Amino acid sequence: MNTTVPAAVPSPAIEVVNLRTELGGVVVHDGLNLQVDDGEVLAIVGGSGSGKTTLLRLMLGLQAPSAGEVRVLGHPLGACGRHELARVQQRRGVLFQQGALFSALSVLDNVALPLRELRTLPPDVVRELALRALAQAGIEAEHARKMPAELSGGMVKRVALARALVLGPSLLFLDEPTAGLDPQSSKAFVRLVRELRQEMRLTVVMVTHDVDTLCALADRVAVLADRHVVAIGPLAEVAPLPHPFVRSFFLGHQSRCQAESLRRYRESLHEPAVAA
Ligand SMILES: Nc1ncnc2c1ncn2[C@@H]1O[C@H](COP(=O)(O)OP(=O)(O)OP(=O)(O)O)[C@@H](O)[C@H]1O
Ligand SMILES: [Mg+2]
């Protein structure tokens, strides 16, 4: 008798199938298909107004598509009831492109907000979890009482990241995470996301215009143009493609993308295998 158990095929973290999105009479997405694998960092690139943030909002269940399906962690968002949607939403964290923090709330209260919304935890536990998330994001407890206006741009991003991580998500969405940061803060932030990604075994969907951030973080890149995904794959495969947007985006960066891919591949050979 054959006792071999076939290896389980990992289900994708997110599947977007035949998506169509119309906003104010404008078709933003049409025939868009995309799969995000469990545990990967997928970067989405595309011109301004190509529908990247809208695509994230659809994956977050904040907006409904005109047609097609978005499945997150196995749940078809369009068919989810309120409670099921809330459960899926508790398993993801988001760093929004605009308005990262509430200006009227302290650092601690900003980070505690998702926990307080659960309405199930006592205040001291909420405080402890929020401080722990801040520490994970590299913000010391002495900054917890500060208001967002008292923080540097890099700190605002870190606090927003702490808020995104406070529920212990398995999915993390980052919309232009390094936009507006100076090169040093940007590098530090990328390093932090890299560490947390390993530590928390996150699946990350990231929108970015920044080739440095892309090279340092992304396992694969999806190119959004002409209302759909025109290319998807590892950086080294996508960067040399002849599509006009891809050419302009990676102009002058091809050899760096190749070198970065090779470095990451070598690095992966030395990384311990992640247990299922
Ligand atoms: N609520 C809305 N109502 C009408 N049109 C909208 C709405 N939100 C976005 N749009 C339009 O949808 C298109 C895609 O917008 P989106 O913000 O997703 O682009 P993006 O790729 O994230 O751009 P950027 O790189 O500038 O952030 C744009 O033309 C935008 O004007
Ligand atoms: Mg955007």
Express each pLDDT in 14-44 by its tens digit: 999 999 999 999 999 999 999 999 999 999 9
The dihedral built from the CA positions of residue 187, 173, 43 and 29, taken in this order, carries a sign that is negative
pTM over 0.75: yes
DSSP 8-state assignment for residue 251: T
Q: Determine what percent of the chain is predicted with pLDDT higher than 70.
A: 91
**Which residues keep their CB under 5 angstroms from ion ligand 2?**
53, 97
Q: Is 51 in the pocket of ligand 1 (CB under 6 A)?
A: yes
Ligand nearest to the CA of 49: 1
227 in contact with ligand 1, CB cutoff 6 A:
no
Does 198 fall in a domain?
A: no
In a domain, 51, yes or no: no
Q: What local confidence, expressed as pLDDT, does residue 273 receive? A: 47
pLDDT one-digit tens code per residue, 155-164: 999 999 999 9
Asked whether 28 lines ligand 1 (CB < 6 A), one says: yes
pLDDT value at residue 259: 74
The residue whose CB lies within 8 Å of the most ligand 1 atoms, and thus the one to mutate among 32, 52, 95, is: 52
Q: Residue 149: inside a domain, yes or no?
A: yes
Indicate if ligand 1 lies below 6 Å from the C-beta of 53: yes
Distance CA 200, CA 102 (A): 26
Distance CA 39, CA 260 (A): 19
CB 151 within 8 A of CB 181: no
Residue 276 has pLDDT above 50, yes or no: no
Q: Is residue 77 part of a domain?
A: no
pLDDT of residue 5: 59
pLDDT at 9: 58
Q: Is 158 within the bounds of a domain? A: yes
118 — pLDDT class (breaks 50, 70, 90): confident
pLDDT digits (tens, 9 = 90+) for 76-98: 998 988 899 989 989 999 998 87
Q: For residue 93, report the distance from its CA to the centre of ligand 1, in Å.
A: 21
Q: What's the chain's average pLDDT?
A: 89
pLDDT at 99: 61
Residue nearest ligand 1's atom 5 by CA: 23
Residues of 227-259 as b/e, b for ≥16 C-beta within 10 angstroms? bbbbbbeebbebbeeeeebbeebbeebeeebee
Domain count, the chain: 1
Say if ligand 1 is within 6 A of residue 258 CB: no
Nearest CA to ligand 1 atom 28: 49
Whether 161 is in a domain gets the answer: yes
Q: Cβ distance 133 to 165 under 8 Å?
A: yes
Q: Does residue 275 have a pLDDT over 50?
A: no
Asked if residue 107 is part of any domain, the answer here is yes
Domain range for residue 117? 100-168
In a domain, 133, yes or no: yes
